[in-house]
Amino acid sequence: NPTAAPPAAGTMAAAVRKALSALGVDPDGLTGPHEARSPITGEVLARTAEHTEADVAEKVGAAHEAFLTWRDVPAPVRGNLVKRWGQLLTEHKAELALLVTAEAGKIESEALGEVQEMIDICDLAVGQSRQLFGRTLPSERPGHRLAETWHPLGVVGVISAFNFPVAVYAWNAALALVCGNAVVWKPAETAYLSAIGADALLARAVREVGAPEGVRQLLLADRVVGQAFVDDPRVALVSATGSVRMGREVAPRVASRFGRVLLELGGNNAAIVAPSADLDLALRGIVFSAAGTAGQRCTTLRRLIVHSSVADELVERIAAAYRTLTIGDPSAEGTLVGPLISRASFEAQQRALARAVEEGGEVVVGGGRVLVAEAPDAFYVEPAVVRMPGQAGVVQEETFAPILYVLTYERLEEAIALQNGVPQGLSSAIFTQDQAEAERFLSSAGSDCGIANVNIGTSGAEIGGAFGGEKETGGGRESGTDAWQAYMRRATNTVNYSGELPLAQGVKFL
Ligand code: UN1
């Protein structure tokens, strides 16, 4: 593969300082025990605070205090806060994207796309601020009105992952804020600087529109301190994005205090390629979904289920395309595949490949580490394609790295059974020109995922559609038409203006 060597030590730290200043953060004010590193070189970019359990109590308390004021502000007026945040994000798109590149290793176009996704959800949330509607229903009793009203929940806790370090926060925060909640954000430990940058813009918007200061809180906390956060009874909703393992820890803790959760956990996304598929189009969709973001999206394409009649040709073409992908410095022009987030990720990628081979897989292309001499503390890998004899073992798991497992099928039913035959249920796709096949894939007997696409890949959803998945993916939905309801509680109101007291169900009493 062509490679782009990472920048000289110090270059990025300097660019990060400049970006932080532009976002309103004094880089000299950042101190503390936490080392914010870049996966591009492995170098330390800055040091930051690391909050404690005492900070959790204080921040959640301050957020709750702010909520008590914020809930009384009319929703369309609350929309002004999010509108201003969206404007500031638009103005500072490049600087925030630079932090995302530096910390998550995203290529420039994808980092800009991530900030665009924040701006998009701000737009949606501002419109939504005038549409937090309940329904009015006919009462069975004369002279009665039956209605539902939506109220804010309180403090919404957001736990986000390294791979979408700022967009996923915005999906939650933009809606939660117009709905009248206060938000406490616990970003990924590998993405504190991006979080500090995004939060600084929100804090500025809060000041400018005169919203209560405490309505947004940033909690820079590790897993242990995070437990105190999810256990705090004042956090009405915990919206958590990350691994299934994290979800298994968070969900029962919140459930034990009858709090609410919104979970966006792992995916093991597949695309079916039918014999009628437009292979040129499928090829591009597959390569973006599987190798883009270095395979580190929850929507990344991890399994390809190809009709046996086109499998050899398609796999060969994917392999050829993979060999042309430039791997390396994500801020260099032309790079398409940046680094893995950590050594642990690299080790997981190597283990998965070894297991795949043990389980009868054949590595068609990729898998090796590159730029070892140029960046000994960073982990760049060639996206891999592995043909597998079946779907047992490692294919059942989400490995957060660019590994595409290829399986073949003969009949569509078999392909759909393979597609659904994993514990996760986030995203799925079919490439076909046969309308009946596409409809079968989208039907109730088709894909069991939260996202089912036709003739596009599994990743890169837009915010207008509900985002989330079934089974081990956790069942939550963010963005989209009715996501706002997750951040509100519903009250049913029966109003009697009859002057009599007829009881429901015809009950007679007194
Ligand atoms: C994630 O990887 O956590 O659909 C979110 C997509 C993006 C969001 C991914 N819009 O790929």
Reported as a single tens digit per residue, the pLDDT across 321-349 is 999 999 999 999 999 999 999 999 999 99
For residue 459, report the distance from its CA to the centre of ligand 1, in Å: 6
Regions of the chain short of the pLDDT cut 50: none
Minimum CA distance residue for ligand 1 atom 1:
298
C-beta 217 within 6 A of ligand 1:
no
Interatomic CA distance for residues 421 and 447, integer angstroms: 10
Interatomic CA distance for residues 226 and 249, integer angstroms: 11
Interatomic CA distance for residues 264 and 450, integer angstroms: 11
- Interface confidence, given as ipTM, is 0.97
C-beta 168 within 6 A of ligand 1:
yes
Distant-in-sequence, close-in-space partners of 490: CB < 8 Å, separation ≥ 6? 134, 148, 149, 150, 151
C-beta 299 within 6 A of ligand 1:
yes
Whole-number pLDDT of residue 49: 97
Q: Which of 190, 301, 459, 477 to mutate to test the pocket of ligand 1 (most atoms within 8 A of CB)?
A: 459
Residue type, 374: E
C-beta 190 within 6 A of ligand 1:
no
Q: Please name the residue that has the structure tokens 């897993």.
A: 223
What φ, ψ does residue 44 adopt, rounded to 5°?
-80, 125
Exposed/middle/buried for residue 448 (C-beta within 10 Å: 0-12, 13-18, 19+): middle
For residue 298, report the distance from its CA to the centre of ligand 1, in Å: 6
For residue 206, report the distance from its CA to the centre of ligand 1, in Å: 27
Both tokens assigned to 443: 């039907």
Q: Which of 158, 164, 168 to mutate to test the pocket of ligand 1 (most atoms within 8 A of CB)?
A: 164
Nearest to 385 by CA among 459, 456, 303: 303
Distant-in-sequence, close-in-space partners of 13: CB < 8 Å, separation ≥ 6? 43, 44, 45, 46
Reported as a single tens digit per residue, the pLDDT across 447-493 is 999 999 999 999 999 999 999 999 999 999 999 999 999 999 999 99
Residue 396: CB atoms within 10 A of its CB come to 13
Q: List, by residue number, the catalytic residues.
A: 264
Whole-number pLDDT of residue 249: 97
**Helices 11-22 & 93-104 angle (0-180, nearest 10):** 140
Interatomic CA distance for residues 96 and 90, integer angstroms: 10
Interatomic CA distance for residues 382 and 401, integer angstroms: 10
Interatomic CA distance for residues 187 and 30, integer angstroms: 16
Residue type, 314: L
C-beta 483 within 6 A of ligand 1:
no
Interatomic CA distance for residues 402 and 380, integer angstroms: 11
Nearest to 144 by CA among 491, 492, 490: 492
139 SS3 class: coil
The half-sphere exposure of 310 on its side-chain side, counting CA atoms within 13 A, is: 20
Q: Which atom of ligand 1 is nearest to the CA of 461?
A: 4
275 SS3 class: coil
Whole-number pLDDT of residue 103: 98
Angle at the Cα of 414 from the Cα atoms of 410 and 418, rounded to 5 degrees: 120
Q: Which atom of ligand 1 is nearest to the CA of 427?
A: 4
Q: What is the pTM of this model?
A: 0.98
Give the Å distances, CA to CA, from 423 to 267, 269, 351, 353, 459.
9, 11, 20, 20, 19
Interatomic CA distance for residues 485 and 391, integer angstroms: 37
What φ, ψ does residue 35 adopt, rounded to 5°?
-100, 115
Specify the long-range contacts of residues 498-505, CB closer than 8 Å, at least 24 apart: 498/141, 498/142, 498/143, 498/144, 499/143, 500/142, 500/143, 502/141, 502/142, 502/144, 503/141, 504/140, 504/141
